[in-house]
Amino acid sequence: MRVHAVRAIEEGEEITSAYTDVIKSSIFRQADLEPYDMVCTCAACSKGNESDIARVMIQFYDLARDLNPENKSLEVALRELELLEMEGLECIKMYRDVLEVVTDLYIEEEHKENAVYYGKKLYKAQCAIGQGDRYSKYRDLDGVL
Rg of the chain (C-alpha set): 17
Q: How far is the CB of 18 from Zn ion (least distance, A)?
A: 8
DSSP 7-59: S---TT------SS-TTS-HHHHHHHHGGGT----SHHHHHTHHHHHHHHHHH
Residue closer to Zn ion by CB (options 33, 127) is 33
Please report how close the Cβ of residue 1 comes to Zn ion at its closest, in angstroms. 20
Least distance in angstroms from the C-beta of 87 to Zn ion: 11
Contacts with Zn ion by CB under 5 A lie at 40, 42, 45
Q: Which is nearer to Zn ion, 45 or 145 (CB)?
A: 45
47: amino acid identity, one letter: K
Q: Which is nearer to Zn ion, 55 or 121 (CB)?
A: 55
Shortest distance, CB of residue 106 to Zn ion, whole angstroms?
33
Q: Which amino acid is at 18?
A: A
> To 5 degrees, how large is the angle CA 43–CA 65–CA 50?
25
Q: CB-wise, 44 or 116, nearer to Zn ion? A: 44
